[in-house]
Amino acid sequence: MRLTCPLCGERDLREFSYTGDAVLCERPAPEAGPEAWDAYLHLRENPAGVARDLWHHGAGCSAWLVVTRDTVTHAVIAVALADAP
């Protein structure tokens, strides 16, 4: 698999690190119980279809990227800088 960094161009996947879901769930209140914190820290959606992930171009420009991809076809739909609107 190859990703196209907006700053560096098309690069091998080994230059990037997957860091998780780009869509954060709402953080529980500090006094929330252990079940709420366990769910927040460990449970993630695993959609069949379009997903947005956060990646780091650690072996390149060090940019944080939001990669939109289809989890069924493995097609990369879009790559954008994480701080882009």
Which residues are at the interface with Zn ion (CB under 5 A)? 5, 7-8, 57, 60-61, 63
Instruction: Choose between 59 and 72: whose C-beta lies nearer to Zn ion.
Output: 59
Phi then psi for residue 79, to 5 deg, are -130, 125
Instruction: Choose between 28 and 60: whose C-beta lies nearer to Zn ion.
Output: 60
- Separation CA 43–CA 24 (nearest Å): 12
Find the shortest distance in angstroms from Cβ 68 to Zn ion: 17
Instruction: Choose between 57 and 69: whose C-beta lies nearer to Zn ion.
Output: 57
* Residues whose CB falls within 8 Å of the CB of residue 35, separated by 6 or more in sequence, listed in order: none
